[in-house]
Structure 1
């Protein structure tokens, strides 16, 4: 697996929507997700914080069974703790709120399960989102991002109609951005780090970097080559990527190619004279 860190593909306009999405994901995770403050201060996660997090996700995350059947469970975590026959745990009770499964897809796009989940998504959005926004324009890019997020969530739900595990993260929407980038800028150069004893910096065309990423997601979504694949919604990534490619395809004929790099060092471009 390669880790992208920078692309050689300048933009013409400031990617305000990409910046706003980056900020929104970070703010929601740090300031609204239960238990994150404790992890930052080193106090760890108590049972009460874990119950709060479970109740928070159950309310604001997208649940495949709710999306398909439009049916709320009778009992949900309340955020309280108690002691049952099997020891301490979270208390469940009737929901005290009305939840819209359709709206939960939107809120779920700004929730993340941990720092690695968050920072990985933000890295890919930071590298590839600005060029897609530059090509589409601000408003169309925002609608595109949301459509890919919804398509990935419902695509995963259709393949897992009875799943009750909360579906969270911007991965599906960002997968759509990656699919669009592959269609629009397949020859753009991307600096990546390849883990081989040490991290080796290489400059590869986008079609290799993103094509490899898509192949891995497709393999993982089939359950091959991984264990515990149920913790990651790889099928949502595949759906989002394909939808992003299809939506970006009409824009391909009018997309100017990225500049051919001259002499390039890692992370910056230099001028070559002959």
Structure 2
């Protein structure tokens, strides 16, 4: 794969997930392993485990019926560390190379410059979907006010959420997406199916913000997934995703919604 390749598949997993190894052990073993890794790295098990741990320690998500800023920030950042560690563990366990999987062979600076205009593309996609839903399926607007927006009350909250949407949103979610797509591409039905499944799961994780927001978010997940598959680098998706999230905060500060 040369430095200018477009959308060429990554090298197959090495070690016990390699096609050569699977020929000796049967087709199902590496697929079961890949499926378990996808489930563990889907974000649902780690967030559930961390939430239960925080609850056992007496650190509740709500105080007087209101979601706590500290809980959301702490859970998001700790989950980022745990999930990233899991992904790296599985990558190294199979003899794979994180740099190849996440950065490919393209110049990082070039990918950053590509990601900047993709912020506006993502914004247009999000606005277009929400506008279409409001026009043709208003019943899907199931949450009047995004509960996460109610957490932004002070300048300190703004900076904390900016940190969260970049680190836990842009960086972690694109690392996670690349890993999941790689597993789907080789062992779980192919990259297009992986984009679909990962995007549905990504959207479902945002149902707390409303069905319309979940649909828009899932579509954006598919958009960033396709960009990754085309570029074989997470840099442009990370820049686009982070910029989109930051613009949402700016929009809330300006409009209050």
TM-score by length of 1: 0.32
| Bigger RCO (CA 8 Å, 6+ sep) | 2
The structure richer in helix per residue is 2
